[in-house]
Amino acid sequence: MGKRENQSELDFAAQAIDHLGTSRFYDSLLDLLGTAAPHDLAALVRYSRAAPPDLIIPRIEPTVAIMAYYSHYYAFDPFYALWKNGGETGVYRLRAVETGIGRSAYAREFLTQMHIHDEIAVFLPPIGDASPTLILDRAKGNFLAAEVARIRRLFPLLAALHRRHLAAIATTEIDLGNSPIGPERPLRFVDQHGRQIFATAAWAEQAMDAEIAHAIQIVTARGPCTVHLKGQLALRRTQLPPDFGPAPSGYCDEISPDRQAGAAAPTTDDLPARIAGPLSERERTVVLLTLQGHPVIEIARRMGLSRGTVKNYRLAIYRKLDITTERELFLEFMAAQRGE
């Protein structure tokens, strides 16, 4: 790397240090990572072993492609599969993780929609069972071996800054559970003696529930374990590492979807009332398939209709819901989910 690039790397490292314990920290960490290789998009994704991924950065309004990822494409994401199946922290290149990626529906459909040709994931030390993962995307061409090697040399610095950030948040009000897509994560850190060091707002709200309070008593007595709750949820306690700043060798408690419960596929009955109410059953089906990310041609195939008929259904749906685009449909759905 040239002198200018070295200076840029140092500048971004200093910026990340300045942002320790703040909501801008991971933006700075992405800037630092970006000095190692030219790229078209940088992102932060929270990969969990027990729940779907969360897109944290960029902080953008959900697009059709992103909502399609969140509803079903994530299950085919090789990085998600890697972490869920026991992957370790470090640097991974998309086409090295999944050798058949070029033939998969994930690559053919989602990556094409997102204009992603190659991708690098940097899995940082986990919080509980989830890793905040730095992502670099390239729209054309592959990342070179020299660029991957450069990122691997940078990894110890990225991981060290991440650990210092976790130590810093113990004295701030930053909410690690907050994500622009999907529900806020109920999460807390507990030290070896059972003292709560940090908790998200979602944890504080749910911990008042009698069933969850009882589950907390169970994990406190047993140590790291999973307690299954109603509504296909689970409370998980995992051990934190000895060098975890806020609570060395303490615990992370998190409430998340229960993998063993086997969540059923959503149906039209799961649509919010304010969306489903004015629609016919077929219109509700079109809405459900649209929200799941299916294009018109696929909806037509699944429902045994012509594309023209599906388009007519969509026009009728938009008219009844007083919207004009698919994007507005997603926003309306998300607003209804949040109870707005």
% pLDDT > 90, the chain: 24
CA-nearest of 251, 219, 21 to 127 is 251
Q: Which of 28-37, 177-186, 221-230, 256-265: highest mean pLDDT?
A: 28-37
Residue 180 lies in a domain: no
Beta carbons of 67 and 330 less than 8 angstroms apart = yes
- Predicted confidence at residue 97, as pLDDT, reads 81
Kindly state whether residues 194 and 302 are assigned to the same domain.
Answer: no
Residue 177 lies in a domain: no
Where is the domain boundary, 146, 171, 196? Answer: 171
CA distances, 86 to each of 33, 148, 232, 324 (Å) = 24, 22, 22, 44
Give the residue with greater pLDDT, 61 vs 57.
Answer: 57
Where is the domain boundary, 171, 200, 231? Answer: 171
Is residue 101 very low, low, confident or very high in pLDDT (cuts 50, 70, 90)?
low
CA distances, 71 to each of 59, 75, 121, 216 (Å) = 18, 9, 21, 30
- Predicted confidence at residue 225, as pLDDT, reads 87
Residue 212 lies in a domain: yes
Domain with 299, as residue range(s), is 268-337
274-314: pLDDT as tens digits: 888 899 999 999 988 887 667 788 788 888 888 889 889 99
Longest dimension (CA), the chain: 65
Residue 108 lies in a domain: yes
| pTM for this entry | 0.65
Residue 312 lies in a domain: yes
Question: With the C-alpha atoms ordered 323, 300, 77, 336, is the resulting torsion angle positive or negative?
Answer: positive
Identify the DSSP state of 47: E
What is the number of structural domains in the chain?
3
Q: Give exposure, 304-326, as e/b (b: 16+ Cβ within 10 Å).
A: ebeeebbeebbebbeeebeeeeb
pLDDT (mean) for 157-171: 83
229-262: pLDDT as tens digits: 876 788 989 888 776 767 778 888 988 777 665 5
Residue 13 dihedral angles phi and psi, to the nearest 5°: -65, -45
CA distances, 4 to each of 9, 11, 23, 33 (Å) = 9, 10, 28, 15
Kindly state whether residues 237 and 166 are assigned to the same domain.
Answer: no
From the centroid of its chain, how far is CA 286?
26
Q: First-to-last CA distance in the chain? A: 50
Residue 182 lies in a domain: no
Q: Is the pLDDT of residue 5 over 50?
A: no
Kindly state whether residues 27 and 161 are assigned to the same domain.
Answer: yes
What is the number of residues in the chain?
Answer: 340
Which tokens hold the place of 153?
A: 């040399």
- Predicted confidence at residue 265, as pLDDT, reads 55
Beta carbons of 221 and 284 less than 8 angstroms apart = no
Kindly state whether residues 276 and 253 are assigned to the same domain.
Answer: no
Kindly state whether residues 150 and 282 are assigned to the same domain.
Answer: no
- How many Cβ atoms from other residues are within 10 Å of residue 300's Cβ? 20
Question: Looking at residue 325, which CATH number applies to its domain?
Answer: 1.10.10.10
CA distances, 337 to each of 14, 96, 161, 331 (Å) = 40, 38, 36, 10
Kindly state whether residues 229 and 296 are assigned to the same domain.
Answer: no
The owner of tokens 């998340």 is 256
User: Rounded CA gap, 105 and 77, in Å?
Assistant: 10
Kindly state whether residues 98 and 227 are assigned to the same domain.
Answer: no
Where is the domain boundary, 245, 261, 277? Answer: 261
- Predicted confidence at residue 181, as pLDDT, reads 41
Q: Is the pLDDT of residue 1 over 60?
A: no
User: Rounded CA gap, 153 and 238, in Å?
Assistant: 29
Spell out the residues 6+ positions from residue 23 whose beta carbon is closer than 8 angstroms to its own.
174
The DSSP H or E segment spanning 134 is strand 130-138
Kindly state whether residues 289 and 156 are assigned to the same domain.
Answer: no
Is residue 121 very low, low, confident or very high in pLDDT (cuts 50, 70, 90)?
very high
Beta strand 196-199 pairing with 118-123: unpaired
From the centroid of its chain, how far is CA 100?
23
CA-nearest of 136, 171, 110, 140 to 39 is 136
Kindly state whether residues 158 and 39 are assigned to the same domain.
Answer: yes
Residue 178 lies in a domain: no
pLDDT (mean) for 131-139: 93
- Predicted confidence at residue 182, as pLDDT, reads 44
Kindly state whether residues 62 and 86 are assigned to the same domain.
Answer: yes
- How many Cβ atoms from other residues are within 10 Å of residue 54's Cβ? 23
- Predicted confidence at residue 21, as pLDDT, reads 79
Return the SS3 of 43: strand
- Predicted confidence at residue 60, as pLDDT, reads 63
Amino acid residing at 158: L
Kindly state whether residues 302 and 214 are assigned to the same domain.
Answer: no
Kindly state whether residues 157 and 291 are assigned to the same domain.
Answer: no
- Predicted confidence at residue 248, as pLDDT, reads 78
pLDDT (mean) for 181-191: 71
- Predicted confidence at residue 261, as pLDDT, reads 53
Residue 223 lies in a domain: yes
Question: Looking at residue 46, which CATH number applies to its domain?
Answer: 3.30.450.80
- Predicted confidence at residue 104, as pLDDT, reads 66
- Predicted confidence at residue 254, as pLDDT, reads 87
User: Is the bond preceding residue 132 a cis peptide, omega within 30 degrees?
Assistant: no
What average pLDDT does the structure give for the chain? 81
Helix axes 307-321, 326-337, angle to 10 degrees: 50
